[in-house]
Amino acid sequence: MFNKFVEPRWLLLTLALLAALLFLPLVAPLFYIYIISVIFVTALLAMSLNLVLGYGGIYQFHHAVFYGVGAYTAALLITQLSLPAWISFPAGPLVAALTGLLIGAFCVRLTKLYFGMLQIALGSLIWIIVYRWYDVTGGDNGIHDIPLPEFLTSIHGAYYFVLIIAAVCVALMYLIIKSPFGATLQAIRDNPQRCEAIGINVQHHQLIAIVIAAFFGGVAGVMFVTVERSVFPGLLFWVLSLEIFVMCLLGGWFTFAGPILGAAIVVALRTVASRYTDYWTTVLGIMLILLIFFLPEGVMGWARERFKPRASAADKRGRELDAAR
């Protein structure tokens, strides 16, 4: 199935990487297994944002709210209603998608900056409810020691669970991007006025994209619960949304795998920086400034342009003659 969309060399490289990740827990220390699990979660979250940002041109400035809603939904169903994980985990992404539908229904009527500003406002309302509702959400204390199935309580079990879920979700997002819907979404990103002129319902497609991105953001939230066994209001705070945004920019927001690279770099830097300073947001702000000035297309965007095969003079001359005829 993937042979229609992926070059054989990239498919083989992906399979080799998955095989390496499957065997990694057998040789790596527990701390590194935990950090890589966090990278899986964060990479999926960044890719879900890039689905609407890089491929849809939608300025979704508060994507973390869907991440937090998915995590809190699963946590509350387990702790408050004592529902099993196999019910609570799927409920998280579904509630996140519903939240995306409600927020998106208001926001798609606006464009660009105003879209992002309204989304920040609506997302902040959800954050303040979670932050202050002590009787249900635990307020600023959050919810800790969430009971999970026995096979998920170990670092190795959580690692393999998030690896499998992340791999499936990444494959689904790739198929969505390569589908006719994905092509239409990219056309809307490049020229929404022309798309409207040929009969495409721009707002309808954007709303669907927001719901899909919110769903995968909710999946990432459930994966966070699996790895950390806790939730807290910071999962819905706008600072985390900025961090996700930086991941997409750093890796390359017009590339598919760019957010994965960006997430890995940011998580690694955050882990190292936390040993020396408590002001991670300052480091994040400096990274954003440097990206805007020196690497606007991200690492993978720069590499794609830098190492793109260049046509020879003969090939160029041949194309010019063909065009002349």
Residue 49 has pLDDT above 90, yes or no: yes
- The C-alpha atoms of residue 247 and residue 50 are separated, in whole angstroms, by 9
- Give residue-wise pLDDT tens across range 67-91: 999 999 999 999 999 999 999 999 9
Amino acid at 109: R
Q: What is the pLDDT of residue 282?
A: 86
- Give residue-wise pLDDT tens across range 174-225: 999 999 999 999 999 999 999 999 999 999 999 999 999 999 999 999 999 9
Q: What is the pLDDT of residue 146?
A: 95
Count the Cβ atoms, other than its own, within 10 Å of residue 321.
Answer: 9
pLDDT-based confidence at residue 324 (cuts at 50, 70, 90): very low
Report pTM: 0.90
pLDDT-based confidence at residue 281 (cuts at 50, 70, 90): confident
Q: How many CA atoms lie within 13 A of 146 on its CB side?
A: 33
Give 231's strand partners: 143
